[in-house]
């Protein structure tokens, strides 16, 4: 093993040798400077990774005393696991910069030619040396020296580029940085005076006995100085200017070397701060920085500045955690993971930013449209930096926040989650521009952009791919903790998905077939190989997931989405859903939940005009995710679980359940948002309608069932052991001043059921209609679950499966129609019954089943819901849901009438039946609905397996003849079905053989008197079909949630815009902030 001293000595020596290699080279011939630099960095990277391996294996950290003097006389360097990892990260980033510079050469860029020879390799190595020294040294003054080495290299590198604005940014950055160093020096002088040593460990030991006042002032100086170096809010102004002014490649290097090293130095200094209890001050500085910097980035249009704010925020998060690490609440591994994540993802994104060259977010429209792998890597990096699994940042956040959740510091979690959501807003806003493609971008907008998607301005960001892969690999390594009965098949499925993404050059049909085979194989393995779900609930939902996936995979062969990443992403989504329903730990549940969130988001974004819908979907799903996260953290902190019996109920019964009650409310709210309940439904219409047609079916049929799964788990934990009187629920009510959260949820569900049904009736777009319908139907399920009675649950779970079958069927049938006609507007269709009879039958069966009239399966579902509501005594909600039922007829009628009946449009005369691949799943679903209609008891038997253990009763008795019996009556579905079928057969025979003959009238019998027909509003009766109803509901419709949320977004944006004025751009104003920061911190320490 090489000595750690060499990590400083060798690059330093080479740095000063490099100018020699460049001398005397004529134009056109270059020196070997870059190669030498890369070789040195490769040496450091390799050997530090070897060191890391030995440390991870359990070796003790190496301590080297320079010059043979032990501390406190000499300076000692320490190399442990964290140090070697950070050195490796710094070397890797610098290597990336070096390699990119080499790749850029053949393009003939004027690299360094204007300044005689290229100084950049030297400066970059110096920056690395400073960082490596700062990471390893244990001497306070030595830290200052290395910090200065690294900083001066940064200042010099800022002007080594060609851009004029780098000069201004560099000066401001240097000016504040120099004052920050002065602050640090002042504090070192004081600290040395008080402790008599410069060694970090000795100093910390001596500090605990020192006079608090002077220590407070000295540490205030240290904190202010380090806040400048770490670019924390409010001292991040010049750093953000630097991001805008200097090439992104330099900023990637700064992030990987100087910034990380300064952060680690601050980490080491925590022992000083901890000696005098500074936990809250530092945590507050960190968390405020995290939230504010993220909030200010929301409206930042310049991509580079946005990345600057993000860096500031990420460092704030790490700084927030450091005092808790020092006091033993949080493990250091969590912070290391966050650092690794941020370094890799931010450097990767910065290199992409440099390669693409788009200044503002709008310039990124259609970015990488022709290079799918770049788009993929870029997406992965954004997912990583947003802290989504499986990237390392997710594991870091989970580990840190769960550790805090069980302590008195739990309330710090709220701002961290809020800040994380803000991060989603701007990162996915950026990605949204990239996803907007083709039809969405007008010619004018295209002319406005400064960057062309096909001609990258910078070198190819080879290391962006490397870093994306590295961060994915590190993250995936943590997935191995998620063992469980379904984990292995799910992982194989996920791996198949990644493989399909990699093989996207293959023909779409081949990819689709491979996806179908993978889904079928996974289903077979899960059912035959004994990989059963951990419990009955999981079993039912696993069946839902696998059945729905199989249907969607077959259908995807017929109406293949335009983009070929669809199939790989679909497998990833299915894999996450399998993981979700089979999860055994809260961590496993949440990992799968977030995987589901982003995979489904990317699938929605595959639609042709879906960038906006997908973005809104991601924001609401992200918010739902953070609510769920908060609830799970509270549970994890209390040592409870959601996934098995016991825990929550016992805790509530013991009267110690305030945290549990809040966990229940957060989880319930999160699931309700994800289920698009009224008020939060605004994401659903756009996402459902703009997603690829086949995927809409899956989204509505299967993905929308996952919040239902969550609610079932939550309800089961709240009810089990409560007894018939439900004392536990009483104690839950008591926490919220007598308000029963379940009753609130029931009303939310009822309002959703009615409101969405009304809105569905007023749509012109068939998919939007189905979207509102889907959300409304989930409303019924929510009502059923919120009752927390066995009958209510039976109704809800029955309806869940029923809705899965019906919505898959309807969405697939409509997908076929859209595939053939090329439009989603119902008033542009009509008379298709002759052309697409099979699709017509699917829709007919679907709407009969959905409307809840006998004899099809919907009737049993509605009957169970109403019975349960009446049994429960919630008559008002029963009234609301009953009123929603006839309203549903209105939209269901439109679906069949506007599309299939009436007159055929001339342009549709050549339309054929939907592709076979779409009809096969429809046929299967029709059969399944028929089966369920005749034998609802078969499903209810499975449902009883869930309700029985939870309630001790099932609420529905299954009689010997297959009838269902509840407290209010009984239903013999088979008898009803047989009777109606017989009547139908008679009636049909009558029409066919006895009734009058029909006379066929061709459409062109009718003419427009030689006039050109005006728009659809004038002549087409199926346009704005329910205008009278629209007028009747007008007061209700004026309460537009869409514009309400829009107003919230605009207000937040205005605040963020105003907040950014804080950074006036004036070097002296920035200095005032630094002094004010110092004074405030010192006052806080002296006064409190």
Partner 1 sequence: MTQGTLYLASALILILIGLACALMRRNLLRMVLGFAIMDTGVHLLIATAGFLPGRTAPIIDDPSLLAGAGGRTAAADPSALLVAAERVVDPVPQALVLTAIVIGVGVTALMLAYVVRLFAREGTLDVSAFRRLKW
Q: For residues 581-620, which are near partner 1 according to CB under 8 A? A: none
Q: Which lies closer to partner 1 via its Cβ, residue 174 or residue 649?
A: 174
Taking phi over 0 as left and psi of -120 to 50 as alpha, with beta for the rest, 1057 belongs to alpha
Q: Which lies closer to partner 1 via its Cβ, residue 49 or residue 178?
A: 178
Q: Which lies closer to partner 1 via its Cβ, residue 172 or residue 356?
A: 172
Q: Which stretch binds partner 1 (CB under 8 A): 151-159, 703-711, 729-737, 989-997?
A: 151-159
Q: Can you say whether the dihedral through the CA atoms of 744, 749, 752, 754 is positive or negative? A: negative
Q: Which lies closer to partner 1 via its Cβ, residue 187 or residue 839?
A: 187
Parallel, antiparallel or unpaired: strands 62-65 and 969-971: unpaired
Q: Are 194 and 140 in contact (CB under 8 A)?
A: no
Q: Which lies closer to partner 1 via its Cβ, residue 1019 or residue 1072?
A: 1072
CA distances from 377 to 383, 426, 463, 471, 502 (A): 10, 18, 11, 11, 11
When binding is defined by CB under 8 A, the residue of 517, 1075, 1079, 1083 that contacts partner 1 is: 1075
Is 201 near partner 1 (CB under 8 A)? no
Is 211 near partner 1 (CB under 8 A)? no
Output the 3-class SS for 478-521. Answer: HHCCCCCCCHHHHHHHHHHHHHHHHCCCCCHHHHHHHHHHHHHH
When binding is defined by CB under 8 A, the residue of 192, 974, 1023, 1041 that contacts partner 1 is: 192
Is 168 near partner 1 (CB under 8 A)? yes
- On the question of a cis peptide bond just before residue 244, with omega within 30 degrees of 0, the verdict is no
Q: Can you say whether the dihedral through the CA atoms of 614, 620, 624, 625 is positive or negative? A: positive
To the nearest whole angstrom, how small is the minimum distance from the Cβ of residue 172 to partner 1?
Answer: 7
To the nearest whole angstrom, how small is the minimum distance from the Cβ of residue 1068 to partner 1?
Answer: 6
Name every residue whose Cβ is closer than 8 Å to that of residue 968 and which is 6 or more positions away in sequence.
867, 870, 871
Q: How many residues does the chain have?
A: 1088
Q: For residues 702-731, which are near partner 1 according to CB under 8 A? A: none
Instruction: Mark 87-126 with x for binding to partner 1 (rule: CB under 8 A) and - for no binding.
Output: ----------------------------------------
CA distances from 734 to 226, 656, 713, 747 (A): 47, 12, 22, 19
3-state secondary structure of 762: coil
Q: Which lies closer to partner 1 via its Cβ, residue 744 or residue 1067?
A: 1067
Nearest-angstrom CA–CA distance, 525 and 183: 64
To the nearest whole angstrom, how small is the minimum distance from the Cβ of residue 1063 to partner 1?
Answer: 6
Cα 779 to chain centroid distance, Å, stands at 24
What is the DSSP annotation of 88-117? HHHHHHHHHHHHHHHHHGGGT--TTGGGSS
Q: Which lies closer to partner 1 via its Cβ, residue 244 or residue 536?
A: 244
Q: Which stretch binds partner 1 (CB under 8 A): 3-11, 172-180, 740-748, 859-867?
A: 172-180
When binding is defined by CB under 8 A, the residue of 4, 33, 71, 170 that contacts partner 1 is: 170
To the nearest whole angstrom, how small is the minimum distance from the Cβ of residue 171 to partner 1?
Answer: 5
The 8-class DSSP code of residue 675 comes to T
- Say how many Å lie between the first and final Cα of the chain, rounded: 49
Interface with partner 1 (CB under 8 A), residue total: 46
Q: Which lies closer to partner 1 via its Cβ, residue 152 or residue 719?
A: 152
Q: Which lies closer to partner 1 via its Cβ, residue 178 or residue 525?
A: 178
Q: Can you say whether the dihedral through the CA atoms of 235, 238, 241, 245 is positive or negative? A: negative
Is 241 near partner 1 (CB under 8 A)? yes
Q: Which stretch binds partner 1 (CB under 8 A): 99-107, 163-171, 334-342, 675-683?
A: 163-171
To the nearest whole angstrom, how small is the minimum distance from the Cβ of residue 145 to partner 1?
Answer: 6
To the nearest whole angstrom, how small is the minimum distance from the Cβ of residue 1048 to partner 1?
Answer: 23
Q: Which stretch binds partner 1 (CB under 8 A): 156-164, 806-814, 835-843, 903-911?
A: 156-164
Q: For residues 295-334, which are near partner 1 according to CB under 8 A? A: 300, 305
Q: Which stretch binds partner 1 (CB under 8 A): 142-150, 600-608, 938-946, 969-977?
A: 142-150
HSE-CB for 21 with a 13 A CA cutoff: 18
Q: What residue spans of 105-247 are helical by DSSP H?
A: 120-136, 140-160, 165-195, 200-207, 212-229, 237-245
Cα 42 to chain centroid distance, Å, stands at 35
Instruction: Mark 1049-1068 with x for binding to partner 1 (rule: CB under 8 A) and - for no binding.
Output: -----------xx-xxxxxx
Least Cα distance to 813 among 739, 900, 931, 942 occurs for 900
Q: Which lies closer to partner 1 via its Cβ, residue 299 or residue 1020?
A: 299
Q: What tokens appear for 891 in the block?
A: 């939209």
Q: Which lies closer to partner 1 via its Cβ, residue 129 or residue 638?
A: 129
To the nearest whole angstrom, how small is the minimum distance from the Cβ of residue 123 to partner 1?
Answer: 11
**Residue 923: exposed, middle, or buried by beta-carbon count in 10 A (0-12, 13-18, 19+)?**
middle
Q: Are 231 and 312 in contact (CB under 8 A)?
A: yes
CA distances from 41 to 134, 254, 430, 489, 803 (A): 17, 15, 33, 41, 59
Is 130 near partner 1 (CB under 8 A)? no
Per 3-state DSSP, the chain is made up of helix, strand and coil in percentages (nearest 5) of 75, 0, 25
To the nearest whole angstrom, how small is the minimum distance from the Cβ of residue 838 to partner 1?
Answer: 59
When binding is defined by CB under 8 A, the residue of 101, 159, 664, 673 that contacts partner 1 is: 159
When binding is defined by CB under 8 A, the residue of 17, 50, 156, 924 that contacts partner 1 is: 156
3-state secondary structure of 741: helix
Is 155 near partner 1 (CB under 8 A)? yes
CA distances from 850 to 361, 643, 892, 938 (A): 44, 32, 8, 19
Q: Are 343 and 91 in contact (CB under 8 A)?
A: no
To the nearest whole angstrom, how small is the minimum distance from the Cβ of residue 63 to partner 1?
Answer: 21
The 8-class DSSP code of residue 24 comes to T
When binding is defined by CB under 8 A, the residue of 124, 229, 244, 765 that contacts partner 1 is: 244
Nearest-angstrom CA–CA distance, 899 and 844: 11
Q: For residues 526-565, which are near partner 1 according to CB under 8 A? A: none
Name every residue whose Cβ is closer than 8 Å to that of residue 111 and which is 6 or more positions away in sequence.
101, 104, 105, 118, 120
Nearest-angstrom CA–CA distance, 671 and 542: 18
Q: Which lies closer to partner 1 via its Cβ, residue 186 or residue 782?
A: 186
Q: For residues 796-835, which are near partner 1 according to CB under 8 A? A: none
To the nearest whole angstrom, how small is the minimum distance from the Cβ of residue 65 to partner 1?
Answer: 14
Q: Which lies closer to partner 1 via its Cβ, residue 188 or residue 345?
A: 188
Is 1082 near partner 1 (CB under 8 A)? no
Is 188 near partner 1 (CB under 8 A)? yes
To the nearest whole angstrom, how small is the minimum distance from the Cβ of residue 136 to partner 1?
Answer: 18
Instruction: Mark 266-295 with x for binding to partner 1 (rule: CB under 8 A) and - for no binding.
Output: ------------------------------
The residue to which tokens 């008591």 are assigned: 734
Task: Return the bridge partners of 971, or none.
Answer: 964
To the nearest whole angstrom, how small is the minimum distance from the Cβ of residue 8 to partner 1?
Answer: 16
Instruction: Mark 933-972 with x for binding to partner 1 (rule: CB under 8 A) and - for no binding.
Output: ----------------------------------------
Is 172 near partner 1 (CB under 8 A)? yes
Q: Which lies closer to partner 1 via its Cβ, residue 593 or residue 1070?
A: 1070
Contact residues: partner 1, CB under 8 A: 141, 144-145, 148, 152, 155-156, 159, 164-165, 167-172, 174-175, 178-179, 181-182, 185-186, 188-190, 192-193, 198, 241, 244-245, 300, 305, 1060-1061, 1063-1068, 1071-1072, 1075
């Amino acid at each position: 093993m090489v000595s750690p001293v060499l990590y400083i000595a060798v690059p330093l020596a080479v740095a000063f040798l490099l100018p020699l290699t460049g001398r005397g080279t004529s134009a056109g011939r270059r020196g070997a400077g870059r190669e030498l630099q890369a070789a040195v960095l490769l040496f450091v990277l390799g050997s530090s990774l070897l060191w890391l391996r030995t440390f991870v294996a359990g070796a003790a950290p190496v301590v080297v005393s320079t010059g043979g003097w032990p501390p406190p006389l000499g300076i000692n360097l320490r190399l442990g696991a964290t140090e070697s990892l950070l050195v490796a990260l710094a070397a890797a980033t610098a290597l990336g910069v070096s390699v990119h510079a080499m790749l850029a050469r053949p393009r003939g860029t004027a690299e360094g030619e204007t300044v005689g020879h290229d100084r950049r390799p030297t400066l970059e190595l110096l920056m690395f040396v400073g960082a490596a020294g700062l990471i390893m040294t244990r001497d306070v003054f030595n830290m200052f020296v290395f910090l200065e080495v690294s900083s001066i290299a940064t200042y010099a590198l800022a002007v080594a580029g060609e851009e004029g604005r780098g000069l201004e940014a560099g000066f401001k950055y240097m000016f504040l940085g120099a004052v920050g160093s002065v602050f640090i020096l002042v504090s070192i002088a004081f600290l040395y005076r008080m402790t008599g040593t410069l060694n970090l460990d000795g100093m910390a030991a001596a500090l605990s006995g020192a006079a608090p006042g002077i220590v407070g002032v000295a540490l205030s100086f240290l904190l202010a100085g380090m806040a400048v170096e770490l670019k924390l809010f409010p001292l991040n102004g010049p750093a953000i200017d630097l991001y805008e002014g200097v090439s992104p490649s330099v900023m990637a290097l700064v992030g990987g070397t100087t910034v990380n090293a300064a952060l680690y130095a601050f980490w080491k200094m925590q022992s000083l701060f901890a000696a005098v209890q500074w936990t809250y001050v530092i945590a507050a500085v960190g968390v405020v920085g995290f939230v504010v910097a993220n909030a200010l980035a929301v409206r930042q249009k310049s991509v580079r500045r946005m990345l600057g704010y993000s860096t500031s925020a990420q460092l704030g998060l790490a700084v927030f955690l450091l005092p808790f690490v020092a006091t033993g609440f949080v493990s250091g591994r969590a912070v290391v993971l966050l650092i690794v994540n941020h370094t890799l993802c931010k450097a990767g994104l910065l290199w992409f930013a440099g390669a693409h060259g788009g200044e503002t977010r709008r310039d990124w429209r259609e970015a990488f449209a022709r290079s799918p792998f770049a788009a993929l890597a870029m997406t992965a990096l954004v997912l990583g930096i947003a802290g989504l699994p499986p990237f390392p940042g997710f594991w870091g956040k989970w580990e840190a926040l769960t550790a805090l959740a069980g302590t008195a510091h739990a309330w710090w979690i709220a701002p961290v989650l809020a800040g994380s959501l803000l991060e989603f807003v701007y990162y996915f806003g950026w990605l949204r521009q990239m996803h907007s493609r083709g039809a969405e971008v007008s010619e004018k907008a295209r002319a406005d952009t400064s960057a062309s998607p096909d001609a990258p301005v910078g070198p190819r960001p080879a290391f962006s791919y490397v870093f994306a892969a590295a961060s994915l690999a590190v993250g995936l390594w943590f997935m191995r903790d998620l063992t469980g009965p379904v984990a292995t098949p799910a992982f194989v499925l996920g791996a198949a998905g990644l493989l399909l993404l990699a093989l996207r050059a293959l023909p779409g049909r081949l990819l689709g077939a491979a996806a179908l085979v993978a889904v079928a194989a996974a289903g077979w393995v899960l059912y035959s190989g004994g990989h059963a779900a951990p419990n009955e609930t999981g079993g039912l939902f696993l069946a839902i997931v696998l059945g729905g996936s199989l249907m969607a995979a077959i259908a995807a062969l017929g109406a293949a989405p335009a983009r070929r990443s669809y199939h790989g992403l679909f497998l990833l989504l299915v894999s996450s859903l399998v993981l979700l329903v089979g999860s055994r730990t809260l961590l496993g549940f949440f990992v799968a939940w977030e995987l589901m969130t982003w995979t489904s988001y990317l699938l929605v974004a595959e639609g042709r005009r879906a960038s906006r819908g997908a973005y809104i979907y991601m924001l609401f799903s992200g918010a739902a995710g953070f609510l769920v996260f908060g609830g799970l953290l509270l549970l994890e902190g209390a040592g409870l679980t959601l996934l098995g019996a016991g825990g929550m109920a016992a805790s509530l019964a013991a009267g110690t359940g305030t945290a549990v009650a809040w966990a229940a409310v957060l989880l319930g709210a999160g699931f309700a948002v994800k289920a698009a309940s009224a008020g939060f439904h605004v994401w659903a219409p756009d996402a459902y309608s703009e997603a690829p047609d086949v995927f809409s079916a899956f989204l509505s049929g299967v993905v929308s069932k996952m919040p239902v799964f969550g609610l079932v788990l939550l309800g089961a934990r709240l009810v089990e052991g409560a007894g018939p009187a439900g004392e536990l629920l009483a104690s839950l009510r008591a926490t919220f001043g007598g308000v029963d959260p379940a009753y609130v949820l029931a009303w939310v569900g009822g309002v959703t059921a009615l409101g969405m049904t009304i809105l569905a009736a007023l749509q012109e777009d068939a998919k939007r209609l189905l979207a509102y319908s889907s959300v409304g139907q989930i409303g019924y399920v929510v009502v059923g679950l919120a009752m927390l009675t066995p009958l209510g649950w039976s109704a809800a779970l029955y309806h869940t499966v029923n809705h899965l079958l019906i919505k898959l069927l309807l969405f697939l049938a409509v997908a076929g129609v859209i595939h053939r006609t090329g439009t989603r507007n119902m008033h542009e269709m009509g008379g298709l019954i002759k052309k697409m009879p099979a699709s017509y039958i699917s829709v007919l069966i679907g709407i009969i089943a959905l409307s809840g009239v006998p004899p099809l399966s919907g009737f049993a579902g509605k009957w169970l819901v109403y019975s349960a509501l009446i049994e429960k005594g919630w008559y008002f909600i029963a009234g609301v849901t009953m009123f929603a039922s006839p309203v549903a007829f209105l939209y269901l009628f439109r679906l069949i009438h506007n599309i299939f009946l009436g007159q055929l449009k001339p342009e549709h005369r050549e339309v054929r039946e939907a592709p076979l691949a779409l009809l096969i799943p429809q046929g299967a679903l029709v059969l399944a609905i028929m089966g369920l209609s005749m034998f609802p008891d078969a499903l209810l038997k499975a449902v009883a397996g869930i309700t029985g253990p939870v309630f001790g009763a099932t609420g529905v008795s299954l009689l010997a003849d297959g009838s269902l019996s509840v407290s209010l009556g009984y239903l013999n579905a088979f008898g009803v079905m047989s009777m109606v079928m017989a009547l139908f057969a008679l009636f049909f025979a009558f029409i066919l053989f006895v009734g009058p003959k029909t006379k066929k009238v061709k459409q062109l019998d009718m003419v427009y008197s030689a006039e050109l027909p005006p728009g659809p509003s004038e002549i087409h009766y199926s346009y704005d079909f329910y205008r009278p109803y629209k007028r009747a509901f007008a007061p209700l419709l004026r309460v537009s949630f869409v514009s309400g949320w829009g107003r919230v977004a605009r207000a937040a944006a205005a605040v963020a815009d105003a907040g950014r004025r804080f950074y006036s751009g004036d070097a002296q104003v920035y200095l005032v902030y630094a002094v004010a920061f110092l004074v405030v911190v010192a006052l806080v320490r002296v006064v409190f």
